[in-house]
Amino acid sequence: MRPLRLDMAGFTVFRDETTVDFTDADYFALVGPTGSGKSTVLDGICFALYGTVPRWGGTRGIGNALAPSATEARVRLVFESAGSRYVATRVVRRDGRGNVKTAGAGLQLMPPGFDVTRLDTGMSLDDLGDVLAGTPAEMDRAIVEAVGLPYEQFTSCVVLPQGQFADFLHAKPATRQQILVNLLGLHVYEEVQTRAANRATKAEAQLAVVDQALAGLADADDEAVDAAAARLAAMRDLTTAVEEAMPRLRAVRERETELAAARDAIAGELAALARVEAPAGSVRVAEAAATAQAALTEAAAGVRAAEEHEEKVRGELAAAGDAGSLGLLLDRHVECDRLTSQAEWFAGEVSVAEVEYKDAVTAAELARSAQLGAEQLLEQARLDYAEAQTLDRAAALRAHLTAGHECPVCEQKVTTVPPMPEGSAVQAAERQGKAARAAADVATTAWKQRDAVARELERGLDRKRAQFEQHKARLAEVKAGLADSPGVEALRTRLAELTRLQRKLDEAGAAVRTAREAQRKAQGAVAAAEEQQRAAWRAFDAVRDAVARFAPPPADRDDLAGAWSALVEWAQQSARRRQADRDEATVAVEAAHAETQRTRAAVAGLFTDRGLPAPAGAADADLIRAAAVAAERAQAAWQRLSDRREEARAYAEQRAALVRDGRVAKSLAGHLRANNFERWLLEEALDLLVDGASRILRELTGGQYDLIHDKGEFFVIDHHDAGLRRAVRTLSGGETFQASLALALALSEQLAGMSTTAASLESIVLDEGFGTLDAATLDVVAATLENLAARGDRMVGVVTHVHALAERVPVRFEVHKDARTAHVERVGL
């Protein structure tokens, strides 16, 4: 595998789109400061191919592929392998919930002469050739087929991880042995041993099942199959014999059936003639119809007489007058008496109300006079109170008068100061005023109450006078309406006559309804009698139609009894003639049945002669079906034995194969169970590895060193020191690098040889810490890499930040990193 072009966008430190063009870079170096992203270029190659990188711990943590805060990462690698050119693309995205998933993966085989500049248009999965894979699972298989190496061997042969370059050279024998087991895939023999042991165990279990099945098929031998074939032949002969005998049996059975049908036909005619019998009461049907018709005529006459009587009474009632008018006049007489009595009562009520009103008016006037007197007393009390106030003020000044001094009011000399009065004149006036006010309030309240009573009685008097006037007016109106009345007694007499005539009319109406109900019943009786007569004729017609095929005599439709008598006599004569015919037909049927039984017994004998029970069914189909069933059962028994014999043979063959496979698997498991086989394989692999590494080391060191191993330890033969044997740990740094590089190249070639596909080892990239080497060793390493590149059989790449080593590499890819993203710039050829 030889990389040609790597495109990255959003991948780890390469946030922006970055292209690394390896075209014509047979020997290149990835240079730049520590942490600038040099190893990330190799990560991009591994991720595009295998979906993971060594620095992720061997896990497929694709979340590591995204640049910080990026939502998508795209990586595309164009590479050559075994003369073909491929393009591998992987796309991962982060969804809204923060989950990172593979959004696209594809491997395409580019056509010859493909213009690589088309890749500058973008990082899409556009058609760049034949699609070899379109999903991650498909791509895993397709990459192994295209590159020739799985992921673990690719990182051991093509891209060598940093810090692990000399581990294999300096490892302990046990550790190196385990590394070879892992790298060369020798653990597959342990899996082969486990599978072989499981297969041997499974074969033993299957062998027990097969032996059990064979034991169950022991009866399916050739003799049993031959006996079943003979039985089948006999049953087929039985079927043929039964089919040949069936025409004779069907003929005699058909003859018996025909005779029985003739006998049954005669019996049917006899049964039909026996059912010709006159029903009871057929003579009384006509008499009942005549009686019902006479009753209907009588009922119609009764209806007419009742209706005529009702009309006569109705005329008398109309001539007697209107009961409603007479009743209204009688009601008015009653109302006149009632109004007269009420008018007298209202007149008394008005008189009483007038007296009460006059008394109330007088009491109100007296109360009004008392109120006026009380108000006068109250006014006098007010005057007395004012005068008392003046007296009290004058008395109050006496305390300030002195005899011989001037009065402050009148400014005259006071000769004598009068004595102070006892008590206060105002207080006495207030007591009198309060008493006067209380009397005035009582008088006012009494006047208002009596005045209100008088007013209420006045309103009551007005109402009663109005009611009295209304009754007087109504009484006059009623009396005017009774001016032409004949009187109460005369009215009552005429009303009694009208009531009598109304009862008479009601009785006449009831008589009409009774007569009409009798007429309806008579009509129903006539209809029922006529229906009975029609039903009797229908019954006669039904019986006659049942024997019409025997030509009965014609019937007189006017005489039902005579028609029945003639039909019954004819039926009895016809039955006597057919009785003799039935006896002869019975004898013939019995003879035909005996012949049928003999013929069927002969057919049943065909079954008993072959050891089968006679069929239980009496039908011909039962005999044929029984023979066919016997043949089918014999066929099934023979087929079952034949199949079981074939099954037994198949089991026998399977048993032989299981015994053979079980022995092989058991033997293989036993051989692989010992450690000698794995040890032998490891020694062979180590011999091949050391031979190849020694050849490469001689070429790298100008023939100075050969590499050998002894008891799992590595040694070098120094030809510049008389073939001295030295441990590899005594080598200098540069010599150690040469020996490790020789082992890495030999190991990659051996892994390629052991690969199941055609591996194409056209490149090797060393991600090694060259900064720890001294100047002399670094010079040796640089010379070694130059010699390796000069061989021309593969691309050589190194990852370093050592300026002295980078200057000796013809093509350099300088990696720089700023605050946002990393950049790659090609310098050199």
Mean pLDDT of 340-345: 73
The more confident residue out of 315 and 161 is 315
Using the predicted structure, report yes or no on whether residue 125 has a pLDDT greater than 60.
Answer: no
Alpha carbon distance 474, 339 (integer Å): 8
pLDDT of residue 491: 65
Look-up: residue for tokens 């810090």?
A: 163
Q: Are 658 and 210 in contact (CB under 8 A)?
A: yes
Using the predicted structure, report yes or no on whether residue 340 has a pLDDT greater than 80.
Answer: no
Least confident among 122-131, 273-282, 555-564, 583-592: 122-131
pLDDT of residue 824: 93
Give the DSSP H/E element, type plus range, for residue 130.
Answer: strand 130-133
pLDDT of residue 281: 67
Alpha carbon distance 302, 297 (integer Å): 9
Write the DSSP assignment of 627-655 as a string of letters: HHHHHHHHHHHHHHHHHHHHHHHHHHHHH
According to DSSP, residue 148 is labeled S
Using the predicted structure, report yes or no on whether residue 680 has a pLDDT greater than 70.
Answer: yes
Alpha carbon distance 774, 787 (integer Å): 20
Angle (CA) 816 820 826, round 5°: 25
**Tokens standing for 45?**
């190659």
pLDDT of residue 180: 66
pLDDT of residue 79: 92
> What are the pLDDT digits (tens) for 760-811?
567 888 876 566 667 777 787 788 778 878 877 778 898 888 888 888 899 9
* Helical H segments across 399-424, by residue range: none
Alpha carbon distance 593, 667 (integer Å): 82
Looking at residue 231, its amino acid is R
Which residues on adjacent β-strands are paired with residue 92?
Answer: 73, 102
According to DSSP, residue 704 is labeled -
Using the predicted structure, report yes or no on whether residue 359 has a pLDDT greater than 50.
Answer: yes
pLDDT of residue 73: 92
Mean pLDDT of 119-133: 69
Alpha carbon distance 182, 744 (integer Å): 15
Provide the edge-to-edge strand list for the sheet that holds 705-710.
Answer: 705-710, 713-718, 724-727
According to DSSP, residue 46 is labeled H
Mean pLDDT of 463-489: 72
According to DSSP, residue 62 is labeled G
Name the 3-class secondary structure at 29.
Answer: strand
Which residues on adjacent β-strands are paired with residue 706?
Answer: 717
pLDDT of residue 148: 76
Least confident among 200-209, 502-511, 604-613: 604-613
Using the predicted structure, report yes or no on whether residue 704 has a pLDDT greater than 80.
Answer: yes
Looking at residue 671, its amino acid is H
Q: Are 750 and 794 in contact (CB under 8 A)?
A: no
The more confident residue out of 491 and 273 is 273
Task: Calculate Rg over the CA atoms of the chain.
Answer: 74
Residue of 40, 43, 76, 25 whose CA lies nearest to 827: 25
Alpha carbon distance 559, 566 (integer Å): 11
Look-up: residue for tokens 């799992």?
A: 712
> What are the pLDDT digits (tens) for 54-79?
777 654 577 888 887 788 999 999 99
Which phi and psi angles does 428 have, rounded to 5°? -65, -40
Mean pLDDT of 123-133: 73
pLDDT of residue 30: 92
> What are the pLDDT digits (tens) for 483-536?
666 666 766 776 776 777 778 778 888 888 888 888 888 888 888 877 777 777
Residue of 46, 21, 370, 26 whose CA lies nearest to 12: 46
Q: Where residue 49 falls among pLDDT bands split at 50, 70, 90?
A: very high
Mean pLDDT of 128-139: 87
Highest mean pLDDT among 189-198, 282-291, 806-815: 806-815
Mean pLDDT of 137-143: 90
Using the predicted structure, report yes or no on whether residue 745 has a pLDDT greater than 50.
Answer: yes
The more confident residue out of 303 and 325 is 303
pLDDT of residue 19: 92
Alpha carbon distance 792, 786 (integer Å): 10
pLDDT of residue 171: 67
Using the predicted structure, report yes or no on whether residue 366 has a pLDDT greater than 90.
Answer: no
pLDDT of residue 440: 80
Q: Where residue 758 falls among pLDDT bands split at 50, 70, 90?
A: very low
- Other CB atoms closer than 10 Å to residue 572's CB: what's the count? 12
Length of the chain: 829
Average pLDDT in the chain: 78
Which residues on adjacent β-strands are paired with residue 77?
Answer: 6, 88
Using the predicted structure, report yes or no on whether residue 756 has a pLDDT greater than 50.
Answer: no
pLDDT of residue 8: 93
Using the predicted structure, report yes or no on whether residue 420 has a pLDDT greater than 80.
Answer: no
Least confident among 165-179, 732-746, 766-780: 165-179
Q: Where residue 41 falls among pLDDT bands split at 50, 70, 90?
A: very high
Using the predicted structure, report yes or no on whether residue 815 has a pLDDT greater than 90.
Answer: yes
pLDDT of residue 123: 52
Alpha carbon distance 666, 744 (integer Å): 38
Give the DSSP H/E element, type plus range, for residue 813.
Answer: strand 811-817
Using the predicted structure, report yes or no on whether residue 325 has a pLDDT greater than 90.
Answer: no
Q: Are 642 and 191 in contact (CB under 8 A)?
A: no
pLDDT of residue 810: 92
Q: Where residue 107 falls among pLDDT bands split at 50, 70, 90?
A: very high
3-state secondary structure 278-342: CCCCCCHHHHHHHHHHHHHHHHHHHHHHHHHHHHHHHHHHHHCCCHHHHHHHHHHHHHHHHHHHH
Mean pLDDT of 329-339: 70
Alpha carbon distance 654, 784 (integer Å): 63
Mean pLDDT of 711-724: 86
Least confident among 97-106, 329-338, 343-352, 398-407: 329-338
> What are the pLDDT digits (tens) for 19-28?
999 988 889 9
Which phi and psi angles does 261 have, rounded to 5°? -65, -40
pLDDT of residue 122: 56
**Tokens standing for 75?**
């990586």
Residue of 684, 658, 659, 680 whose CA lies nearest to 671: 680
Mean pLDDT of 50-57: 82
- How big, in percent rounded to 5, are the helix, strand and coil portions of the chain? 65, 10, 20
3-state secondary structure 589-602: HHHHHHHHHHHHHH
Looking at residue 708, its amino acid is I
pLDDT of residue 6: 94
Angle (CA) 231 234 237, round 5°: 155
Highest mean pLDDT among 39-53, 254-268, 392-406: 39-53
Mean pLDDT of 646-670: 79
* Helical H segments across 755-802, by residue range: 775-790
> What are the pLDDT digits (tens) for 250-272?
777 778 788 888 878 877 777 77
**Tokens standing for 470?**
């209304």
The more confident residue out of 760 and 142 is 142
Alpha carbon distance 462, 589 (integer Å): 128
Alpha carbon distance 645, 417 (integer Å): 177
Alpha carbon distance 628, 62 (integer Å): 74
**What's the predicted TM-score (pTM) here?**
0.43
Using the predicted structure, report yes or no on whether residue 388 has a pLDDT greater than 70.
Answer: yes
pLDDT of residue 199: 82
Q: What percent of the chain has pLDDT over 90?
A: 9
CA distance readout (Å), 827 to 29, 388, 637, 811, 813: 10, 141, 91, 6, 6
Alpha carbon distance 294, 412 (integer Å): 155
